Structure 1
Amino acid sequence: MSIKPGPSAPALTSRIHGCLLGGALGDSLGYAVGKDPMEEIRRRFGGRGLTGFDALPESRFSDETQLTLYTVDGLVEALEWANSGVGADVNACLWLAYLRWLASQGEEAGPSAPAPQPRWIDRQGVLRQRRNPDEACISGLATGEMGTSVRPVNPGSKGCGTVVRSAPFGLIPHIAPEAVYKLSADAASLTHGHPAARQSSGIFSLLIHRLVSGEGLLDAVTAVTAHARTLNEVAPELPERLEAALQLAGKGVVTPEELTATLGEGRLAEEALAVALYAVLATLPKTGTDVTADGGTDTLPVRHFREAVARAVNHGGSSDSTGSVAGNILGAFYGEDCLPADWLESLEAPEAVRGMANLLAGVTSAEG
């Protein structure tokens, strides 16, 4: 049986805020350890690794939160046009949004690329800071060519830069699952061309869509894992990693060394998704567990979020990527109620994240 988020389902607005803020929190915790080997993480933070922001002098999120918010902005622009009765090419809106992010990083897209008009998001200074941006995202956008599913840019690139920005596609209500998948996979083609990168993004967005629609966590993960096997010309490493994540989670919590030996370090798209899935499932509260944890004030969703994100970032791989995806998943599932208050107090520029969440909620007519 798959655990449900609570006695009353979260409102869509809460899920949107939870997903975006949760991803930013996971990204920030993971970004603090970067790609340090596990030995160094243990040396700095103790045997359990980094488990919260209280051990850090400051908190900053990476380019992954930046690009997630620019994904939101591209979708918001397309939906604004649609709400006014004008059809818009969604992928073109996303490309223009990503080109504005590229310019914020001090990079040029070349003379053939359009010059997009600035929007609210471009005035948020924290999103203009360079935070170790994904090389394939930079190089793909810098071509000045709009990649498509037929002719993607960077055809051999399968890094995690696609998956980590793709949660917002699953937050759009009232569209068919196949449309969610296509929007996400097509957008991945703007920077990454390998089938595993594009398909991993689509499957991740489908998972978010199922969770936002009210499906249980384990049920949703199981369903998208099975669906991955049915994809046309599927990259076999994707369903293999997802199935391995389900099997590993069935063992409960394992060592970081066993985690990376089984699923990889999260640097590739399918690895980042698999590690995050393992983290949220291996820490899934058991049915009948007390409402609060260890006699403290944490509710079950908050405890689950803390434990899952800690598992997602302590492995010596691409910790910001896996932490971000895990945070997106649980935020979409539980809504804002799972986000630890003390972690939110440490989050960098929450007004930028909440601002974009409000814009998305507004154009989708989210309740709440």
Structure 2
Amino acid sequence: MGATSGAVWGRTEQQDFRSRVRGTLLGAAVGDALGAPVDGLSLERIQEAHGPEGLADLASGPGGRGAISRHTQLTLFSFDGLVRAQVRRDTGAWHPPTDLHRAYLRWAVTQHDWGPDERRTEDGWLAREEWLYARRSPSRACLLGLADGTMGTLDAPKNPGEPGPDAAARSAPFGLLVGWDPQLVLQLAIECAAQTHGHPTAYFAAGAYAVIVHALARGEILDAAVQRALALLAPRPGHQPVGDALQRALGAVRQGMPTAARIEELAGAGTAEGALAVAVYCALVGEDVRHALCLAVNHGGPSAATGALTGGLLGALHGETALPPAWLAELEGRPTMLVLADDFAMEMTQSPALHGPGGSSPGWLVRYPRA
């Protein structure tokens, strides 16, 4: 795999990219936090609890109001793994799927340890964030896929019968590799999805989502971004369910005002392609970010995943300033997210100044060790 890392970024370009990186991470996290309290509930039960219009504001979930779920936890470690991969590139050890797998193993530790082990300096700073050591309904597929330390690959994927949306919901960071060719973004997201979700529907949904985010982060409109993903998926055997779901999402936009029934129909059985279809549809028809996210979580499926996927799209499209300030103010872990987003943006735009031929920043390599 390769990427362009030596491009010269102007100040305006850097600021726009940082806003989109922040927007993608915070948007996904807000959507996750919004959907988590109603995740898996039927639409009827959601309406009984929150009124006929359904959930319209943050509510208390397992971790409290504004708390994130496993989707955001894993997205944070996706960001961390990508920064670590870029740093390790200096050593000649350039295999991003391996670095992402190591990052996901660090997440897995947070699901069974009481707190960080300060002696493990090779883990970097994110793994020492105590608030991440909380179990937020981790999926069986993620826990099993990472349980033995062996990395799943496309030739030998983990959980080949698992079509759920978790892998897609952690894949927005791959789309922020804006210097990469979209074909490589697709491949990386697919390979990393297969580490826990080896069903083609799951890993092609993750790849398609990353490609859509990639196009949005580079300034394309959402409809064009979806068309790009469809074109890249087309030659790949087994992509059809994901491609068909994206086409249904585009077709549903032309069917009039959005309804809960239409979103339920797109969501289907709650597998990855349905969650992706809901996210694309809601991002296209929402009057604003808040409205789109509320549409995305009011259905009887994986509301946390559809909220996260929708928020990531809208954040990449519009940047952080489009996100609802009142929700951001209550978002669990927001300070950590801002630091990580800014670190990612700095690594992707200014890596030679952080660790290059002219010397390395010791502080940076403590935060993101090459080990």
Contact 2:30 2:66 in 1 (8 A): no
Matches within 5 A, 1:264-343: 264-265=268-269, 267-283=270-286, 304-343=288-327
- Change in CA separation of 1:222 and 1:252 when aligned onto 2, cut-off 3 Å: farther
2:85 equivalent to 1:63: no
Q: Match for residue 292 of structure 1?
A: none
Q: Percent identity?
A: 37
Question: For the residues of structure 2 that align with 1:325 and 1:189, how far apart are their CA atoms?
Answer: 18
Give the CA deviation at 1:124: 1.4
- Change in CA separation of 1:116 and 1:196 when aligned onto 2, cut-off 3 Å: farther
Question: For the residues of structure 1 that align with 2:305 and 2:267, how far apart are their CA atoms?
Answer: 14
Q: Match for residue 98 of structure 1?
A: 104
1:270 partner letter: E
Question: For the residues of structure 2 that align with 1:70 and 1:55, how far apart are their CA atoms?
Answer: 24
Q: Deviations over 1:268-299 (max 9, x none)?
A: 1111111111111122x5xxxxxxxxxxxxxx
Q: Match for residue 257 of structure 2?
A: 253
Q: 252-261 vs 339-348, which deviates more?
A: 252-261
Give the CA deviation at 1:366: 6.7
Question: For the residues of structure 2 that align with 1:45 and 1:88, how far apart are their CA atoms?
Answer: 49
Contact 1:251 1:282 in 2 (8 A): no
What is the number of residues matched between the two proteins?
Answer: 331
Contact 1:95 1:146 in 2 (8 A): yes
Question: For the residues of structure 1 that align with 2:305 and 2:235, how far apart are their CA atoms?
Answer: 24
Aligned partner (choices 149, 157, 178) of residue 144 of structure 1:
149
Aligned partner (choices 152, 159, 169) of residue 164 of structure 1:
169
1:59 partner letter: G
Q: Match for residue 73 of structure 1?
A: 80
Q: Match for residue 345 of structure 2?
A: 361
The TM-score with structure 1 as length reference comes to 0.85
Contact 1:250 1:282 in 2 (8 A): no
Q: Match for residue 28 of structure 2?
A: 23
**RMSD of equivalent CA atoms:** 2.1
Question: For the residues of structure 2 that align with 1:180 and 1:315, how far apart are their CA atoms?
Answer: 30
Aligned partner (choices 238, 244, 252) of residue 240 of structure 1:
244
Contact 1:241 1:263 in 2 (8 A): no
Q: 155-164 vs 23-32, which deviates more?
A: 155-164
Contact 1:225 1:239 in 2 (8 A): yes
Matches within 5 A, 1:92-131: 92-106=98-112, 117-131=122-136
Question: For the residues of structure 2 that align with 1:185 and 1:239, how far apart are their CA atoms?
Answer: 15
Give the CA deviation at 1:140: 0.7
Contact 2:183 2:232 in 1 (8 A): no
Contact 2:37 2:59 in 1 (8 A): no
Q: Match for residue 11 of structure 1?
A: 16
Q: 272-281 vs 35-44, which deviates more?
A: 35-44
- Change in CA separation of 1:209 and 1:144 when aligned onto 2, cut-off 3 Å: same
Q: Secondary structure at the match of 2:122?
A: coil
Give the CA deviation at 1:122: 0.9
Q: Match for residue 188 of structure 2?
A: 183
Runs of 4 or more consecutive aligned structure 1 residues displaced over 4 Å after TM superposition: 54-57
Question: For the residues of structure 1 that align with 2:44 and 2:343, how far apart are their CA atoms?
Answer: 42
Give the CA deviation at 1:85: 5.4
2:100 partner letter: L
Give the CA deviation at 1:173: 2.2
Task: Please list every run of 5 or more consecutive structure 2 residues that lacks an aligned counterpart in the other structure.
Answer: 1-11, 114-119, 352-371
The TM-score with structure 2 as length reference comes to 0.84
Contact 2:32 2:308 in 1 (8 A): yes
Q: Secondary structure at the match of 1:53?
A: coil
Give the CA deviation at 1:222: 2.9
2:178 equivalent to 1:194: no
Q: Match for residue 291 of structure 1?
A: none
Give the CA deviation at 1:30: 0.1
Q: Deviations over 1:230-285 (max 9, x none)?
A: 132133211111111111122243322332224415x31111111111111122x5
Task: Please list every run of 5 or more consecutive structure 1 residues that lacks an aligned counterpart in the other structure.
Answer: 1-7, 108-114, 286-303
Question: For the residues of structure 2 that align with 1:147 and 1:184, how far apart are their CA atoms?
Answer: 13
Q: Deviations over 1:123-161 (max 9, x none)?
A: 112221000011101111113211111111111111111
2:46 equivalent to 1:41: yes
Contact 1:241 1:270 in 2 (8 A): yes
Give the CA deviation at 1:182: 0.9
Question: For the residues of structure 2 that align with 1:352 and 1:268, how far apart are their CA atoms?
Answer: 30
Q: Secondary structure at the match of 1:142?
A: coil
Give the CA deviation at 1:96: 0.7
2:217 equivalent to 1:212: yes
Q: Secondary structure at the match of 2:146?
A: helix
- Change in CA separation of 1:162 and 1:54 when aligned onto 2, cut-off 3 Å: closer
